[in-house]
Structure 1
Amino acid sequence: MIYGVAEPTNNFPVAIMAWSIKEVVWGESEQPTRHLIGHIPQISSGRTTSAIQSFDREKMQITTRSGRVYALLGHPGENDDADYVWERWKAFNHVRNEKDVTNEYDERANT
């Protein structure tokens, strides 16, 4: 089931695991945006975020356009629920190009 996510009500990071980062060009925009895809264990649900605004490598936290903060748990990976949400998001938003940029955010790839 696909549903919207409520606006953030606090500054506590949302834990996300089995995560990846995709760069896409979508809709009528020509500018690429990057999105975090992963599994939220607290609610046992896949998630695709709004565009990434900042990344704190030391804390392994991402802040998105919505203002929500995500704490990247563990290493990148895949999750069926997250993949399902991502595929629906791409179709709904008319994604024209997709590039996996996860390695730029993976602490193992940058050490």
Structure 2
Amino acid sequence: MSFGPATPVYLQSSATLIRWRVFETETGERHFAGYCTESGHGRVTSAITSFDLQTGIGISSSGRAYQLRGKSQFDDDADYVWVLWSLYNRVEWSKDVSHEYRALDVGEP
């Protein structure tokens, strides 16, 4: 499994995450961490700048739109990337705030 930047936004303006969670860091930033169906890998997003609970679409600071699908739940690949991302970005602590987004839990696609 590799760890590196996602495809540039100008080449992929949107992505779908399944088995996703939302983490808040000590700085107050929130990030999606989930399994990206387009790449087939775990992904951690840049900071979430907006989120529509009705559509399940969030925009990250990179400008990419993320469609959340299915239930908020653990994914091995996403957790692995979250741990590496947190170490790389010197995150001192984080908490899972996925419960705030659970109105979306509609089952797996």
TM-score, with length taken from structure 2: 0.87
Cα distance in 1 for partners of 2:38, 2:61 equals 22
Change (3 A) 1:6 1:104: same
Q: How many residues align?
A: 104
Asked if the contact 1:18–1:74 (Cα under 8 Å) also holds between the matched residues in 2, the reply is yes
Of the candidates 65, 79, 85, which is equivalent to residue 69 of structure 1? 65
Structure 2 residue aligned with 1:55: 51
Cα distance in 2 for partners of 1:13, 1:58 equals 17
Identity of aligned residues (%): 34
Change (3 A) 1:105 1:7: same
Structure 2 residue aligned with 1:17: 18
Cα root mean square deviation, aligned: 1.7
Of the candidates 96, 99, 109, which is equivalent to residue 95 of structure 2? 99
Structure 1 residue aligned with 2:5: 4
Asked if the contact 2:21–2:98 (Cα under 8 Å) also holds between the matched residues in 1, the reply is yes
TM-score, with length taken from structure 1: 0.86
C-alpha deviation, 1:51, in angstroms: 0.3
Cα distance in 2 for partners of 1:67, 1:4 equals 14
Task: Return the index of the structure with the highest Cα Rg.
Answer: 1
Of the candidates 31, 34, 40, which is equivalent to residue 30 of structure 2? 34
Change (3 A) 1:92 1:68: same
